[in-house]
Structure formats: structure tokens, C-alpha cells
Amino acid sequence: MLYVRISLAVAAIVSALFFPPWVPLILIGALALRFEALEVLFIGLMIDFLWLPGAFFYPIPLFTIAAFLILWGLEPLRRELFV
């Protein structure tokens, strides 16, 4: 299971670099649904810095907030299904 977690995280990081922002968001959801993955927040922050126009001056980090909400929101479902 560790290999699945690492491969999903690497796929999300690579897709944050080369694909549109909604692709890593789907991978973030899959990662947060299956694992207790705090690297989701790092990936969300990375998407904000890469894809938001004027990332240093934009007041709301949308993908970081979305990653936090996905991680926090899917926690009860993950515990119910996989524990």
C-alpha cells in the first residue's frame, strides 16, 4: 500500500507541473479518500503557486483551501470505508 500512496503523490505532483489544475485535484481526492495523506496540502500549495495568475499577490489560495477541505471532508468517509 505504501507504493500506491507514493505513486499517487508523485502522479499528483507531476500532474501539477504539466497538466491543467483539475487533474491534480482529482488525484488529491483519490489520495485523500484512500490514505491519511498530509502531502495533499503541499500539492495544493504547489498548484496555487504554479497556476494562479499573480500567485504572490492573489489574496486567496484556492487550491490549498480546496485541498484542506477535501482532506478534512473525506476523513469520515475514509474511516468508514477503509478502517
**At residue 56, does pLDDT exceed 80?**
no
Cell readout for 46 is 504547489
* Domain range list for the chain: 2-82
**At residue 36, does pLDDT exceed 80?**
yes
Tell me what pLDDT residue 11 has: 95
Tell me what pLDDT residue 3 has: 93
- Distance between CA atoms of 41 and 45, rounded to whole angstroms? 6
CA 65 to chain centre: 10
Tell me what pLDDT residue 43 has: 92
Tell me what pLDDT residue 74 has: 86
Average pLDDT for 31-52: 87
* Contacts of range 57-65, beta carbons closer than 8 Å, 24 or more positions apart: 63/21, 63/25
Average pLDDT for 11-30: 91
- Distance between CA atoms of 64 and 67, rounded to whole angstroms? 5
In sequence order, what are the residues at sequence separation of 6 or more whose Cβ sits closer than 8 angstroms to the Cβ of residue 3?
none
